[in-house]
Chain A
Amino acid sequence: GENVEQHPSTLSVQEGDSAVIKCTYSDSASNYFPWYKQELGKGPQLIIDIRSNVGEKKDQRIAVTLNKTAKHFSLHITETQPEDSAVYFCAASKSGGYQKVTFGIGTKLQVIP
């Protein structure tokens, strides 16, 4: 089955700096890679996703890159703000409404004001 590894497990950055979280996956058939943000007391919420036919996707201060050959993908947050502090999960799956999604272990991001 799919295996997703994520690092670092914790990350502290100064407000305004950039943060990068990296993930690798094992199943070359995976073609959908979402990123979730989980704030304290809440469930994970999708913040950005990328499909295998795209190498990069941006949404304001958030971007995700995908390298299919190397089977790794990364989340980049620029100009970090205190409200970006949360746990971030990467995930991988095949397309399809109820395909199994395999999650990484999570990265706890702390943005220091």
Chain B
Amino acid sequence: ETGVTQTPRHLVMGMTNKKSLKCEQHLGHNAMYWYKQSAKKPLELMFVYNFKEQTENNSVPSRFSPECPNSSHLFLHLHTLQPEDSALYLCASSQDGLAGGNIQYFGAGTRLSVL
């Protein structure tokens, strides 16, 4: 176990549905991330939160809405998605500060299929 737990592991949704992905880290980290992983593409950073504040939004469409209520929890709210949004969504966390370098610990991901 990496200390980062994502639920659900698999999700199938229609284009008109609203769903949420959840991520929880038990590592005492202060930074959390959402990535999108598609076949034959590099990992795409979507959002970064540091001490609950969003520090990066990598030009992500508004149909993806992140929420970080505290340093241990991160959500990704989904609505009116498109079929091309089907991918593996990965959550990661890292320790803030220079001493921690930038080692990111990943969850197992949520495999999302949009029909």
Contact = CB atoms under 8 A, between A and B. Distances in A.
Interface of A: 4, 32, 34, 36, 41-46, 49, 51, 89, 93-106
B95 interface: yes
B25 interface: no
Contacts of B107: 43
Chain B's interface size range is 20 to 34
B106 A98 contact: no
A94 B94 CA distance: 14
Contacts of B102: 32, 34, 93-99, 101
A43 B98 contact: no
B65 interface: no
A43 B89 CA distance: 10
Contacts of A106: 42
Give the most central of A43, A101, A104: most B CB within 10 Å: A43
Interface of B: 2, 4, 30-31, 40-43, 45, 48, 50, 55-56, 90, 92, 94-98, 100-109
Contact of A95 (B45, B90, B98): B98
Q: Which of B42, B103, B108 has the most CB of A within 10 A?
A: B42
Contacts of A96: 97-98, 102
Given A43-B90, A105-B41, A97 B96 contact: yes
A41 B106 contact: no
Contacts of B30: 97-98
B42 A98 contact: no
A34 B103 contact: yes
